[in-house]
Amino acid sequence: MLPQTVNENILILVVQGRLQYTMNQATLIAEKGDLVFIPKGTYRGAENYMKEPHQKFSALFHHTIPSGTVPLLDKPAFTKAKVRNFEYIKKRFEALHREHLEGKPMHRFIGSGILQELIGIASRDVETGEISPMKWQQSGKIQQYITANYRRTIHARELAEQIGRSTNYTISLFKEVTGQTPVQYQRHLRITEARSLLLNTAMTVAEISEYLGFYDSSYFYRTFKKETSLSPSAFIALCEKEKDPAGEPDPHSSAE
């Protein structure tokens, strides 16, 4: 999904796989069991994480609830929380989705009640497990440093120096906020760039491997396949097939 400003509030439950969101210049990885609230006006982009298949439920809504009534709805920025009763929340999203699809009498009234319940539960879970603005800021500094240096080896102490904390705290903080370790985030940046180079340049696998800082081509090959489930050559072949209108549908397209 190309970045755009959302015109409605969105409440999302991820039920399978992982998604990568870019919201107001910050990167967020959401995985199974995560509730994500995106307030109206957020500049948002989203995609499957490394082309993994995913499934999620999304509820889009406007509201006239007075400020101070539901803490979640007062938040000016996007928020993520791990749900405490995943199966129950999933069933309530399924019920909301079913009411919307079937359109039976009173479906709007019933759907509104289900949505209010979900917003209330999400607000309670966020309040008990909220990530502070300071942590978002610190994570952003680490992300910027990794992005600027992702082609070389980055030591944990370098990241810790960016926020003036211990290495253990820094790694734990980054994982809490983004859903990835710094190593995973750097690897994601490298493989994302590798995908672009494979499709848009004449560079060989060996040249791309060296350019991106991998110590040998075989390690690059293994990492690429681990991250994308495809070898570099298979990835190129799949992308070429997807350009063909007569090809099969993209197997990684998301399902709401």
The residue-averaged pLDDT of 84-108 equals 84
pLDDT for residue 250: 32
pTM: 0.54
pLDDT for residue 251: 28
Please state the domain extents for the chain. 7-128, 131-179, 182-256
CA 55/CA 149 separation, integer angstroms = 33
User: Under a CB-based contact definition with an 8 Å cutoff, are residues 84 and 44 in contact?
Assistant: no
Least confident residue range of 34-48, 88-102, 110-124, 197-211:
34-48
CA 198/CA 224 separation, integer angstroms = 11
Residue percentage of the chain with pLDDT more than 90: 27
Residue of 115, 104, 109 whose CA lies nearest to 62: 115
161 versus 91: the higher-pLDDT residue is 161
pLDDT for residue 29: 83
Q: Is the pLDDT of residue 34 over 90?
A: no
> Domain 182-256 is of which CATH architecture?
Orthogonal Bundle (1.10)
Task: Give the largest Cα separation in the chain, rounded.
Answer: 63
Residue of 151, 149, 168, 150 whose CA lies nearest to 160: 168
> Domain 7-128 is of which CATH architecture?
Sandwich (2.60)
Q: Is the pLDDT of residue 67 over 90?
A: no
Q: Report residue 63 as tokens.
A: 């509201």
The residue-averaged pLDDT of 61-80 equals 84
Residue percentage of the chain with pLDDT more than 70: 87
User: Residue for token digits 């998301």?
Assistant: 254
Q: Is the pLDDT of residue 249 over 50?
A: no
pLDDT for residue 182: 92
CA 195/CA 182 separation, integer angstroms = 20
Alpha helices in 129-181 (DSSP H): 133-149, 156-163, 167-178
